[in-house]
């Protein structure tokens, strides 16, 4: 016990400051993209999952993007990825980058902020995911991130939760479980789609066993990525409940 205490004292304070102006994604990380040209034909041809449209309405759909960087390598004159981690959006349409300023998510209304602003509990459902998104959600509970200091926690039971965080493409086998979990949440409740799979199906889009989030389950926030970086997830959760601007 004494050795453990001495080791902890030696380690010092390890929880990162958040938010902080100098925070950026790691050098190998890809954040908010910037379109430098409307000529996206080469970039669209390089995208493995149809996330880029060219022609009359060019744009990059972050909901389908797996952040592989193939488009930027194929057409560096047209697409550039920054290291900006603030990627969340309030509606599906805002995830399509067309060249202007990226429209980030908006905070919940005053009534919901009053309910969730200081105590926000989430039930996470892995609806057929590969566990990458789930792993980065788990990272937030470690001492370096300490999600609990903001009053946000993941809980085991949906009946103890204020919101639902969905990862994975929602396979046919998980659709009923997802519906039951959503129905078990007390109202008012919020829903967050985290990762390309939850938003659009990701690499599995169009597969007969992937049904996606049912249309009657309204999504309040989208967090793109494959998987979203913990910085992006933390920013999204705190932005949703009004803890940061």
Confidence of residue 3 (pLDDT cuts 50, 70, 90): confident
Average pLDDT, the chain: 94
In this structure, the answer to whether residues 73 and 130 fall within a common structural domain is no
In this structure, the answer to whether residues 181 and 81 fall within a common structural domain is no
In this structure, the answer to whether residues 160 and 228 fall within a common structural domain is yes
In this structure, the answer to whether residues 53 and 118 fall within a common structural domain is no
In this structure, the answer to whether residues 132 and 236 fall within a common structural domain is yes
CATH number of domain containing 205: 3.40.50.12280
Question: Domain limits at 222?
Answer: 110-240
In this structure, the answer to whether residues 58 and 129 fall within a common structural domain is no
Residue 169 is assigned to a structural domain of this protein:
yes
Residue 229 is assigned to a structural domain of this protein:
yes
Confidence (pLDDT) at 45: 97
Q: Give mean pLDDT, residues 93-100.
A: 93
Q: What is the 3-state secondary structure (H, E, C) of the chain?
A: CHHHHHHHHHHCCCCCCCCCCCCCCCCCCCCCEEECCCCCHHHHHHCCCCCEECCCCCEEECCCCCCCCHHHHHCCCCEEECCCCCCCECCHHHHEECCCCCCCCCCCCHHHHHHHCCCEEEEEEECCCCCHHHHHHHHCCCCCCCHHHHCEEECCCHHHCCEEEEECCCEHHHHHHHHHHHHHCCCCCEEEEECHHHHHCHHHCCCCCECCCCCCCCCCEEECCCCCCHHHHHHHHHHHCCCCC
Predicted confidence (pLDDT) per residue in 150-205, tens digit: 999 999 999 999 999 999 999 999 999 999 999 999 999 999 999 999 999 999 99
Predicted confidence (pLDDT) per residue in 30-72, tens digit: 999 999 999 999 999 999 999 999 988 999 999 999 999 999 9
In this structure, the answer to whether residues 60 and 169 fall within a common structural domain is no
If one counts the domains in the chain, the total is: 2
In this structure, the answer to whether residues 80 and 114 fall within a common structural domain is no
In this structure, the answer to whether residues 74 and 131 fall within a common structural domain is no
């Amino acid at each position: 016990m004494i050795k453990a205490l001495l080791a902890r004292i030696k380690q010092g304070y390890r929880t990162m400051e958040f938010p902080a102006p100098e925070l950026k994604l790691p050098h190998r990380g890809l954040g908010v993209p910037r379109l430098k040209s409307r000529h996206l034909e080469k970039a669209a041809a390089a995208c493995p999952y149809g996330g880029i449209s060219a022609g009359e309405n060019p744009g990059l759909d972050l909901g389908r993007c797996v952040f592989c960087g193939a488009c930027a390598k194929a057409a560096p004159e047209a697409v550039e990825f920054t290291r900006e981690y603030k990627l969340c959006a309030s509606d599906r349409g805002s995830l399509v980058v067309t060249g202007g300023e990226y429209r980030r998510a908006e905070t919940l209304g005053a009534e919901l902020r009053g309910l969730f602003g200081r105590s926000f509990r989430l039930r996470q459902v892995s609806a057929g995911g590969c566990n990458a998104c789930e792993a980065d959600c788990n990272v937030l509970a470690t001492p370096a991130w300490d999600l609990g200091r903001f009053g946000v926690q993941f809980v085991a039971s949906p009946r103890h939760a204020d919101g639902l965080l969905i990862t994975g493409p929602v396979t046919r086998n998980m659709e009923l479980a997802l519906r039951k979990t959503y129905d078990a949440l007390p109202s008012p409740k919020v829903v967050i789609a985290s990762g390309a799979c939850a938003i659009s199906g990701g690499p599995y889009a169009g597969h007969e066993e992937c049904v996606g989030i049912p249309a009657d389950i309204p999504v309040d926030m989208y967090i793109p990525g494959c998987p979203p970086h913990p910085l992006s997830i933390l920013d999204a959760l705190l932005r949703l409940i009004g803890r940061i601007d």
